[in-house]
Each structure stands twice: as C-alpha cells, then as structure tokens.
Chains A and B, each alone.
Chain A
Amino acid sequence: MSTPILEVRNVTMTFGGLTAVDDVSFNMAEGEILGLIGPNGAGKTTLFNVINGVYKPTRGNVVFRGRDITGLPPYDVVRLGLARTHQIVKPLNEMTVLENVVVGACFGAENLGLEPAQYVAEEVLEFTGLLQMKDELAGKLNIALKKRLEVARALAANPRLLLLDEVLAGLNPSEVAKMLDVIRSIRDRGISILMIEHIMQAIMSLSDRIVVLNFGQKLAEGTPDEVANDPQVIEAYLGDPEMAKRILEEEEA
C-alpha cells in the first residue's frame, strides 16, 4: 500500500479543562473521500483546525503525504497542498469573486504570479459554475454561491487534499445536488477529500469510508454501511440503543 495522503496519529486537543478531540487516529488513502460525522460538539471542526494548522494539537501528530505538518501555520499548510473550506463562509467581501479566487491561486501550492493565477481562477470558476458572476463583490453573493466560492478558492490553491467543512449546510435540495456534482468532479480530478457533513444521505452516498466522532473520541470507522449499522453510532445519534434498534427493525419491516 502506498503512503497515505493523510495520517492523523493520536491527536488530542484540550482547551483548558475541556478535551475537544481525544486521542483520535485514522489514515486516508490517496483519492479517497472520507466522511467525518458525529453529533454537534463532537470535535469535528476542531479536528479540521488541528489538521490545517489553526490549532497546534496538545498531543499527537498530523502527517501529510509522509511529512509531519503538526504545528505548521495554516498558510504553510496550504502551500503544501492541503486546502480547506469553512463551515461559516469567509469570503473577502470587498473583493470580486474573481479576485478572491486569484488570491487563492497566488498563495496556494503553486505560488503563481498574477497572470497565470488569473487563468487558473477563471478555469476554477468555470468548473464551479461561478464564471458569470466573477465581477460581483464576494460579499453580495447569496449563501449557496458563497459556499461554492469557498470551494473555488480552496481549489485554486491546487490542493492534493481538500477539507470540506459542511459545504452542504444551509443549501436547498437543488443546490445540494449541484454541490454534490462539484464534489464528485473534484474527486475525479484526483483530489482526496475529507468532509464534515450533517446531511446523512449525502455523506453516505459520497464517502468511500466514514469516521464517526463522539465527545472527541473516535467511535467507529468503516464503510458507510458498516457505520450506519453500528449500534454505538446509532446510540450516539439517537441516545437510546433499544429505541434505535426498534426504529431500525421497523424500517426493515
């Protein structure tokens, strides 16, 4: 087996007395879509922040393409080819859509000059379906378009691994469908994807494998089917295993 694109090794992150991520380990293979799920407050976004360098983990390591990136600042992590989007979108409001993506390309893995960055940006905008509004101010977009802009900006950095933090949240069903298409075509370009998502149907159909977090700990890991039928996972989501079992049986009947 080739080197995993991402290895999370025994990562623990504490804030004062609170342990947000507790001894979590998993590997991701090149080209894989790995879903990261768990109830609210399970530590998913914190784990993302550890992976891309916003937080330095209290213990443990993050290894990206065989290189230990633990504690590297986010701007260096991007340059190594690990980009991310945010649950709460962070566009550069007073710059145009195109400029937002150009900045992403200039300071991404390729470190492009302004002209090639422009070219890359237009291509990425076309790919994400934002090309018609490239001259709009980013702050004026609606939430669905802002989410797509997040993805476009991250893609412009030419990443090997893309972290997607709830890119589907707040979108209506047709927007969700569009975004799913975008995500699939990103994978088809050979970019590995680690995604947090609450829309179960979407993540179950997209992911090759799923990691479940609960109270900061890894609860389960496996294919979508394995995870969906794991009693512990069901308990974490629904609280009562007996009831969960009944619901499952009812569904099967």
Chain B
Amino acid sequence: MLQIFSSVMDGLLIGLVYGLAAIGLTLIFGVMDVVNLAHGSIIALGMFFLYLFFGAGLHPYLSLVPVAILGFFFGVIVYLIAVKRIISGPPLMSLLSTFSVSMIIIGIGTALWSTSPYNINFKVETYNILGYTVTSARLIAAVAAVLVTFGLYFFLYRTVLGKAVRAVANNREAAELMGIPSQQILAISFGIGTMLAMLSGALIATLFPFTILSGGVYELKSFVASVLGGLGNPTGALLGGIILGLIEGSVAPFIQISWTNVIEFVIFVLILLFFPTGLFGGRK
C-alpha cells in the first residue's frame, strides 16, 4: 500500500514538471497557432545548458536563472529566424520550420555532446515523511514548476505586457489596431514558451540522466498533457501534466515501465476522440 502511495506521490511531483513543459508548448500554440516541433529538443537543450552552468561551478538551482534568461533569448531568436516569416502561412509551414530547428539543435548537440548520457551530480537530501521517502531534488523540482507557473499567471493577468500577450492570442489583428505591436509580442511569447520548456528540461536534468535525444519523450508527454487540458489553455496543460504524472505513478507498481507510454497514448487517442477540446476546455 505504502509502495503505491509513494509511487503516486512521485508521479504527482514529476507531473508538475511535465505540466511546466506542457505550458510552454500550449502557450506558443495558444498565442500564435504554431505547434512547436522544436519543443523536445529545446527541453533537451535546457538540460545541457544546466549541465554547462553546473560544470562551470554554479549550483544546479542557481543555474536555473541563467538557463531561464538564455531560454528566453534563444526563443526570441528562433522566432525571428524561423517563425516570424511564416507566422501567417499555412500550418504545415510552421511545422516544417520548427521541425528543422529541432533537427539543427539535435545535430549540433550530437556533435558537441554525442548521444551518450550525462547527469548532474550534486548532493541530494532524502526525507522520510510518514514512511514515504522523497528526495529534495524531486520536491524542489515540483515546487519550482509551481512557482514558475504562478509567475506566468501573474505576468499574463497582472501586467500590461501580459494583457498584450492575451490580446494578441485573442485576435492579432484587433490587438494591432489597438496599438499593440503584435510582432514584438509574438517574439516575447515564443521566448517565454521556450524559457518554460528549457526550465522544465533543466528541472528534469536534476532528477534523471539525460542525452541530447531525451527531449523527444518529454515533447510527447507535453503534447498529451496539453491535449488533455485543452490546447492553448495553460491551466489545463498544468492539470494535464499532473494527470499524466499520476497515471504514470499509479500504474508503475503494477506493470513494466515500458507500458506507461502505451497507456498514455491510448488515453491521448481517447481524449482526442471523445473530448477534442480537452477536459478543461481549449482556447476556442
């Protein structure tokens, strides 16, 4: 019984990190209708950025700050180079364009770090709460994911820039006619989405070993979580991530780990069939 409880708790904590990754994906989709296929490789890049800062002697949690800043600017640059020109084109163009970005990141990453696994070795405390054993790394990752999500909500609902982002997401043309320079807002939004993806990658890197190809798994999880919560809905994406984590946690004690993907994607297909706008309502 305790083992199941532990597993579910672990699932919940990691689910929050999945949720953070999914918010990055869903935010970009919600604001500009671009499905960012570079999401996974950006997550992996977040892992390696953390690795670099850690290697330079910074504490992993302190390294999150430069990773976030780097993530934002990386996103803005990707937007300006690969997305801006095709933002009004048919959806296939942005799919191909972001997929190319993904291939470029993975190509360069493989050249720099090969595809062998890396990990972040730092001192992790272990706590025992009523028989449930949890590492400080897992707790902090979950708390950080929640804090970043709160930060995002504060930004979107309580700042002028955030209102502009929501206005552009609602109706780009109308926003522009109300005095909002939409291209700048789109670049900022892509930057924020990328920042969230990199942060989630960095948090995952504090928990598990990773390779430059690790992003793919988390990209898929982000898709499932976003669709669960309704594409374009950040709260939904977070809840989707939590649900995903809980499912993983609750099936893990009973079946082989490789089955979790099967279960997740069966759920994914069922959601698409029966709740195409997600469990919590999509953007439209």
Contact = CB atoms under 8 A, between A and B. Distances in A.
Interface of A: 52, 54, 73-76, 78-79, 84, 86, 90-95, 99, 102-104, 106-108, 113-114, 117, 153, 157
Contact of A75 (B160, B170, B179, B283): B179
Chain B interface bracket (under 10, 10 to 19, 20 to 34, 35 or more)? 20 to 34
Residue picked from B173, B179, B180, most chain A C-beta under 10 Å: B179
10 contacts: A75-B176, A75-B177, A86-B174, A94-B283, A95-B163, A103-B178, A106-B160, A107-B179, A107-B180, A108-B179
Nearest to B162: A114
Interface of B: 158-160, 163-164, 166-167, 170-171, 173-182, 283
Given A92-B166, A94-B170, A94-B283, A113 B160 contact: yes
A21 B174 CA distance: 23
Nearest to A79: B179
Nearest to A94: B170
Nearest to B159: A114
Chain B interface SS verdict (over half)? helix
Nearest to B283: A94
A153 B174 CA distance: 11
Residue picked from A79, A92, A114, most chain B C-beta under 10 Å: A92
Contact of B173 (A90, A104, A106, A113): A90
Given A103-B164, A114-B158, A114-B160, A92 B174 contact: yes
Contact of B163 (A73, A78, A103): A103
B167 A84 contact: no
A92 B171 contact: yes
B29 to A, nearest CB: 15
B154 to A, nearest CB: 12
A157 B177 CA distance: 11
A103 B180 contact: yes
Contacts of A108: 178-179
Given A95-B166, A95-B167, A52 B177 contact: yes
Contact of A90 (B164, B174, B180): B174
A91 B166 CA distance: 12
A99 B167 CA distance: 9
B266 to A, nearest CB: 31
Contacts of B158: 114
A103 B175 contact: yes
B155 to A, nearest CB: 12
A102 B179 CA distance: 12
Given A92-B174, A103-B178, A107-B178, 10 more contacts: A74-B179, A75-B178, A75-B179, A75-B180, A95-B166, A95-B167, A99-B163, A103-B164, A103-B167, A106-B163
